[in-house]
Amino acid sequence: MNKRWDIFCRVVDNFGDIGVCWRLAKQLSDEYALEVRLWVDDLNVASKIVTGLDASLNNQKVNGVEVFLWNGDAIFANITPADVVIEAFACELPKLYIQHMVAKKPTWLNLEYLSAEAWVDDFHAQNSIHPATGLRKTFFFPGFTDKTGGLIREQHLVAQREAAKAEFKRLLSLQVSLFCYPHAPIHSLLQAMSESEHSVECFVPTGSVLGLGKIAEFFGRAQIEVGDTLNKQKLSLTVLPFLTQEEYDQLLWCCDLNFVRGEDSWIRALWSAQPFIWQTYPQDEKHHLKKLDAFLDKYEVKQNDVLSEFHHAWLEAEITPKLWNKLMTALPALKERAELQTQKFEQHTDLAAKLVIFTKNKV
């Protein structure tokens, strides 16, 4: 029962949507032997995340998952809906596909964006009736409590992380990864790191909307390219190529501090068991600050904590050398906290498992 799953994904403005959908599709296929079709509206962007995907092919199988180009309603004329249909992030299913769903009546789930806000507990697994067809759609909210849909976490992730960390050779310099939105106070962060009391090695993956121009400007360069290593005082910055999801996990595991953004890299930083600074996606009326504070509360960070102070400076102000050194002084304690918090969230059932359990209970 419920062997076949369809996941629909629209690529919005970054790699987060497709990143989450691809991780989920792979996990459902690998760990539960489910037949998964991933429908994506932009294969060019998807190919950056899905290793081995040929953007010139409208359908293909990659790592056990069938990947299809979703380019309009007409392609669904002869498509039979799967047993479970996931509408990722309210992307709106094709009308023709919904018409086919009327006879089959599959389990229809709207996978929502992740939030740590308290209201998520009450809205998770609530239903809505489609006005034209009477089909029932369930809103599935990922989250940080047992009352939510959980977080993406592969079964092998913890063992892989610990095995990799056991092989790392710790360096005297501080290792930092930087992945952020372009409006972040990048210049002030780089300046603070360059004036740090300790040597800093910063790694910047390309392929983001980070804007390497700001980094080039800081180092007095017209432009910078993949592979460049730039130096200023205590700071050494290396521009990395676009990383696969597996390679990015490795980067997070080996760094002492990770700057992450959005949803996908945020949760991978959580699973790294290393200290991290999260940049929320900007929203109107500064609602993203409420999302940040809700997470910090779940992460057991108090308002006067240096981690809270640094997060708010990263989102709303500038990073001063004084604040940077304050964070560095607290880093050993933050490392211990990160390990404890990661262990706490690892005790919860993961997102894929909760989805499978939910669909079984619907039968």
Sign of the Cα pseudo-torsion (320, 321, 322, 325, in order): positive
The alpha-helical segments, DSSP class H, found in 232-281 are: 245-254, 264-272
Contact 249, 231 (CB under 8 A): no
Q: Give the per-residue pLDDT at 15.
A: 74
Q: Give the per-residue pLDDT at 1.
A: 59
The fold of the 4-151+348-362 domain, in CATH, is Rossmann fold (3.40.50)
Whether the model clears a pTM of 0.85, i.e. scores above it, the answer is: yes
Side-chain half-sphere exposure of 242, counting CA atoms within 13 A: 10
Q: Give the per-residue pLDDT at 188.
A: 96
Query: Which has more confidence, 172 or 121?
Result: 121
Tell me how far the alpha carbon of residue 149 is from its chain's centroid.
Answer: 15
Over range 68-83, report the average pLDDT: 94
Three-class SS state of 301: coil
How many Cβ atoms from other residues are within 10 Å of residue 223's Cβ? 10
Three-class SS state of 175: strand
Comma-separated ranges of CATH 3.40.50.2000 domains in the chain? 157-346
Q: Give the per-residue pLDDT at 265.
A: 94
Contact 90, 112 (CB under 8 A): yes
Task: Please list, in sequence order, all residues whose beta carbon lies within 8 angstroms of the beta carbon of residue 357, skipping any fewer than 6 positions away.
Answer: 349
16-21 CB contacts, 8 Å cutoff, 24+ apart: 16/262, 16/263, 16/264, 16/265, 17/88, 17/89, 18/42, 18/45, 18/46, 18/49, 18/50, 19/49, 19/245, 19/264, 20/88, 20/152, 20/263, 20/264, 21/88
Order of strands, edge to edge, in the sheet holding 65-69? 59-62, 65-69, 35-40, 4-9, 84-88, 107-111, 136-140, 126-129
Over range 83-104, report the average pLDDT: 95
How many Cβ atoms from other residues are within 10 Å of residue 68's Cβ? 18
pLDDT above 70 (res 13): no
Tell me the CA end-to-end span of the chain in Å, nearest whole number: 8
Q: Give the per-residue pLDDT at 90.
A: 87
Q: Which amino acid is present at 41? A: D
Q: How far is CA 205 from CA 179, 245, 251, 327, in A?
A: 7, 12, 10, 23
DSSP characters over 51-86: TT--TT-SEEEETTEEEEE---SGGGTTPPP-SEEE
Q: Where in the sequence numbering do the catalytic residues fall? A: 17, 263
pLDDT in tens, 143-191: 999 999 999 999 999 999 999 999 887 778 999 999 998 889 999 999 9
The fold of the 157-346 domain, in CATH, is Rossmann fold (3.40.50)
Q: Give the per-residue pLDDT at 122.
A: 96
Q: Give the per-residue pLDDT at 42.
A: 93
Contact 58, 69 (CB under 8 A): yes
pLDDT in tens, 232-288: 999 999 999 989 999 999 999 999 999 999 899 999 999 999 999 999 987 777 788
pLDDT above 80 (res 124): yes
Cα–Cα dist 80/28, whole Å: 20
Q: Give the per-residue pLDDT at 182.
A: 86
- Among 57, 37, 47, 35, smallest CA distance to 11 is for 47
Q: Give the per-residue pLDDT at 207.
A: 67
pLDDT-based confidence at 14, cuts 50/70/90? Answer: low
Question: For the chain, what is the mean pLDDT?
Answer: 93
